[in-house]
Structure 1
């Protein structure tokens, strides 16, 4: 029973954040949380809710590669994930599934506790804010799980495609069973719409969710569903609240980590780690690097020249060697641009794209891109999306959703002379659920 609790719904005490931002008391626990301040303390647990985003989607995508020597040095589960094997790709207990559902459990506990506290005229603002944060975190972690363990949303099959468990309470005795993809996305959208209504426009710090962040995450979810009109609407709503872009001309590209944490573009901060992804091991796909134009500052801000013809990534919005997985203005701007292009609103799509690129190129060298062909504009936006949002855990779902649009993107890696491949729209794009979860719950495994 202890193992089942840990895998499905881990229970951990609230610890003081290593970021020192919020003065949450370390002796507060989920079980005794009674006041609104207690609930906020549960949501201010940075280690559970901000720094435990998973890396499976990034390791599985192919914006980087490992040398044979670096591949051989990794743990067996990491080697299996890198080559898209169908078993033993997650550690038995400390894994991405456990982290996602630990966060969902915490969010559910807060929502239940709020029901006991009750909303009144006196506490309405704080009650709503806490409720919005809990809904945001539940939606975020269900969405992350769908990206990894479910097929891309397809309106024709989503009602029958297997998704992930939708935990809505804190009772660990309730069995976990897989809902459909349609049910999963419906819950994500519903929770984020609640978060939009409840959260303040801007949070006291980007470590907490805000209305702008909820709009942004909602646009990400709807883009992955290929609901382009709705995604554009919510991306626009986010950008009306916050649309700051960094001018890369102001960054010192010579630094080991040129982009500061909590920079002007960040709407909500979270990150993931992963030894295979580190700057010294993960080599950027050479074809991806060649996409950057000569005066594109991202060539030096994002990449470390290894002086041997290879490049490592140093452009995380975390200001550290961890990888940003939060919500940021650049992503939301590109969501809106892509949706505008797909809706044939080409001048607006180009306006968004050119605004981003003017802030990414050396001053005086960039000429606005222009085209009156929908396919050409869409291709420009998708190319910039790949160049701007690499190493954020987004490429995996992008490939899955674009293949639903007929992109025909296959993946290939070569290790020790052996080729490993994933065909478009195949089951290889749906990772296997950790074996111990299957054994404990009896739910159906991915093929």
Structure 2
């Protein structure tokens, strides 16, 4: 197994479709696993499979701002360019958010290609490792779609440029961009296969389980505006895992008040550490939208000397911002979909089930809505307030901008200037690293 790890480490840094690095490939005899345990060990490498999610979406979103001083002090041009939605982003050569996303895909493909070749173990071992590989590959593809492709639009998705769908560990295969439609279909196929193989309860929160696969399907369908399907899978996830933390029991004075692997976490995934998020201050309008009796105001944020606020409500309780599926997210997905279906009462019931656990005991007055449109407005507001810094806001902006009722223009105020990003702007599909474009011949996202 040691040689297997060495080989995978060497291979994992390769940009998808980049022949320049073929000389790094070790002897193939060193990379052949012999048992399900060998393959499970690859899936248990949490630095690659769990805490390796691209942070470009959250870094591009409007939940935070940077001071001029912090922005000007950044030595990485990529961090600066990302913040102002620049036409081009000079990514680090290796590693960067793009290559790390495909590291996990490479590991998953290695498992899927070898699962029928290894011996030993039992049926459960095989199912778990194969289901894990499909889960992680689907999650990685979805992250890349959200960052580097345009929003899913049913009318144009079959023509819109998507992402490379690497389905083989053979990096001699040149990467090509599939359509957005093909990308989402692959994510759905991977996650559907995953839930049929994964156990109802994983041995550890770092491993995927069936509820997590249902949760990711709900996420995917939500970003496709397929709200009926999102409702179905959010409900299926909640049927397996529905526990909520009562924030009244958390220590709001702690620097890390949210327990690691808490009962809401379905599978622990984390974003790559990001200077933008680390130094980012919470958008002041967003912070001021929390009521004084809303405990998220104290659990999620810490006050800075200059009067600004920073985020501390990380469900990963570490430098890797949590972005995995969780129970609170499923309640909000289901509530939104119910509101869109005109089920105002059900929508508010789901929202209030969550909110009563977030407000100071004895102070919560259940939210009420006179109609479905009013319910949707309340739910979308609470969704943003509950799920900030979880790599969801960028995808939410993209889908919500398709409707005039929910479209917004977002802004950066920096060094005396204002930069704006209007709904539907081409910059919502981030530029692919130029090295990838040069080596593969793929078309770049237009500007």
Which TM-score tier does this pair reach, normalised by the shorter chain? Answer: over 0.9
Q: Deviations over 1:202-255 (max 9, x none)?
A: 100110000000000110000000000100000000000001100000000001
User: Structure 1 residue 5: deviation in Å?
Assistant: 7.0
C-alpha separation in 1, matches of 2:124 and 2:317: 33
Partner residue in 2 for 1:253 = 252
Q: Deviations over 1:333-378 (max 9, x none)?
A: 1111111111111111111100111000000100111123111000
Q: Does 1:153 align with 2:152?
A: yes
- With structure 1 as the length reference, what TM-score do the two structures score? 0.92
C-alpha separation in 2, matches of 1:178 and 1:30: 31
What is the aligned-residue RMSD (CA, Å)? 1.8
C-alpha separation in 1, matches of 2:66 and 2:12: 35
Partner residue in 2 for 1:234 = 233
Distance change in 2, residues 1:205/1:30 (3 Å): farther
Distance change in 2, residues 1:369/1:176 (3 Å): same
Distance change in 2, residues 1:4/1:43 (3 Å): closer
The more displaced of 39-48 and 109-118 is 109-118
Q: Does 1:72 align with 2:72?
A: yes
C-alpha separation in 1, matches of 2:344 and 2:319: 37
User: Structure 1 residue 3: deviation in Å?
Assistant: 11
Partner residue in 2 for 1:328 = 326
Aligned pairs (5 A) from 1:338-357: 338-357=336-355
Q: Does 1:213 align with 2:212?
A: yes
Distance change in 2, residues 1:105/1:88 (3 Å): same
Q: Deviations over 1:89-142 (max 9, x none)?
A: 421221111011111011011011013248x9x832221111111100110000
User: Structure 1 residue 199: deviation in Å?
Assistant: 0.5
Partner residue in 2 for 1:361 = 359
Partner residue in 2 for 1:418 = 417
1:327 is paired with a residue whose SS is: coil
2:116 is paired with a residue whose SS is: helix
Partner residue in 2 for 1:99 = 100
Distance change in 2, residues 1:400/1:264 (3 Å): same
User: Structure 1 residue 283: deviation in Å?
Assistant: 0.9
Distance change in 2, residues 1:441/1:4 (3 Å): farther
C-alpha separation in 2, matches of 1:156 and 1:32: 44
Contact conserved, 2:16 with 2:166, CA < 8 A, in 1? no
Tell me which of 393, 397, 401 is aligned to 1:403: 401
Contact conserved, 1:9 with 1:102, CA < 8 A, in 2? no
C-alpha separation in 2, matches of 1:159 and 1:419: 35
Partner residue in 2 for 1:61 = 61
Q: Deviations over 1:269-304 (max 9, x none)?
A: 0112112211xx211100001111120000100000
1:412 is paired with a residue whose SS is: strand
Give aligned pairs, total.
Answer: 425
User: Structure 1 residue 80: deviation in Å?
Assistant: 0.8
User: Structure 1 residue 30: deviation in Å?
Assistant: 7.8
- With structure 2 as the length reference, what TM-score do the two structures score? 0.92
Partner residue in 1 for 2:309 = 311
Contact conserved, 1:48 with 1:99, CA < 8 A, in 2? yes
Aligned pairs (5 A) from 1:18-57: 31-57=31-57
C-alpha separation in 2, matches of 1:164 and 1:30: 31
Partner residue in 2 for 1:287 = 285
1:258 is paired with a residue whose SS is: coil
2:419 is paired with a residue whose SS is: strand
C-alpha separation in 2, matches of 1:30 and 1:62: 46
Partner residue in 2 for 1:296 = 294
C-alpha separation in 1, matches of 2:433 and 2:307: 37
Contact conserved, 1:139 with 1:187, CA < 8 A, in 2? yes
C-alpha separation in 2, matches of 1:214 and 1:245: 19
Distance change in 2, residues 1:405/1:89 (3 Å): farther
Partner residue in 1 for 2:16 = 8
2:401 is paired with a residue whose SS is: helix
Distance change in 2, residues 1:301/1:323 (3 Å): same
Distance change in 2, residues 1:390/1:355 (3 Å): same
Partner residue in 2 for 1:26 = none
C-alpha separation in 2, matches of 1:30 and 1:136: 26
User: Structure 1 residue 46: deviation in Å?
Assistant: 0.9
Structure 2 gaps, min length 5: 1-9, 22-28
Partner residue in 2 for 1:143 = 142
C-alpha separation in 2, matches of 1:140 and 1:262: 19
2:222 is paired with a residue whose SS is: helix
Contact conserved, 2:17 with 2:172, CA < 8 A, in 1? no
Q: Which runs of 4+ in 1 moved over 6 A?
A: 2-5
Q: Deviations over 1:132-189 (max 9, x none)?
A: 1110011000000000000110100000000001111111111100000000000000
Contact conserved, 2:63 with 2:389, CA < 8 A, in 1? yes
Contact conserved, 2:13 with 2:100, CA < 8 A, in 1? no
Distance change in 2, residues 1:233/1:39 (3 Å): same
